[in-house]
Structure 1
C-alpha cells in the first residue's frame, strides 16, 4: 500500500511543488515558514492518501494547503498557554474529562510515544525539535550541524513513518474488529 502511495506522491504531488510554493507565498505573511508549511501539506496529503487516494490530486493538494493555512491562522489567534500566568484560573482539570476520554487520550499518547521512540535517532531528534519544540528548519539545521535540506528530508521521512505506525495500527485494529464482527454474524 505505501509503495503505491509513494509512487502516487512522486508522480502527482511533487510536480505541483512550484505552484504550491507560489500559493503559500501568496497567502502566508512569513516567508521563513513556507518550507515548513510545504512539508506539512506534503505530510497531510501523504497521510490522507494512506487511507484513500484522492480522485483529483491538484484540487486535493491545494485544499489541503488552504485548510492548513486556516488552521495555522486560527491557532495564532488563540492565546498561547505560555502567556497565561494563572493556570488554576482556567478551571480546567482532568476530572472535567470523562473516564473514556482520559483513557483514550492516554492510549493515543502511549501510541505516539512508541511511534516516536521507534524512529531512527537523527530522524527522532529532528521530529522532536521541529514538531514538539516548534523550532524552524533553519534553527534545527544550525543546532544539529546539518543542511536545511537534510532537516526537511528527515521531517518528511519521520512524519511518513509516524503516520504509517499510528494509522497503520488503527487500520490493523479496524480490520481485526471487522473480522471479529463477520465471524460473530456467521454464528
Structure 2
C-alpha cells in the first residue's frame, strides 16, 4: 500500500471541497464551453479537464476569488485544446456521422458490368497501333483538343484526325461485334 502524504481528515476535506466546486460550477462551465466551442461533444471533456486541474491543487479550499480562478482555468483549458488541435489538425474534416448521405444507387452487378466494359475497351484499344491508340486516349479519354493532341504527338492536326477516325471505327466495330449489335 502506498503511503499518502495527506492525513485522512485532510483528504476528506479536500474531497468535499472538490465535490462542492463540481456541484457549484458544472452548469456554469458547461454553458461557458458551449458558447465557445463548435462541438457540444467536447463540452463534457472540457468541464472535466477544469476539475482535473483543480484537483491537482494542494488546497482547493484556499482559492481566492473562486469564480475568477475557475473561469481563467477554463479559458486556459480552451487555449490548450486549441493549441493541441492546431498541431494535430483536428477539425480539418467533418465526421461523416454528421451527414445524412444517400446510399449509392450502383448495384454490385452494375459495378461489375462497368469494370468488364472497361476491360473490353482496354483490350480493343490494345489491338490498335500505338500512335492511333495514343491519339484516341488523349482526345477521347483525356479530353484534349485535337490541336493539342497533334502537337503532343508531333504530327499534323489532319493526321491526328485520321488516327482518331481509325480508332473510333475500330472500337465501334469491335464493341458492336461483342455486344451483338
Q: Same fold (TM over 0.5)?
A: no
Q: State the TM-score, normalized to the length of structure 1.
A: 0.41
Q: Which has the larger Rg?
A: 2
Q: State the TM-score, normalized to the length of structure 2.
A: 0.42
- Higher share in helix: 1
Higher relative contact order (CA 8 A, sep 6+): 1
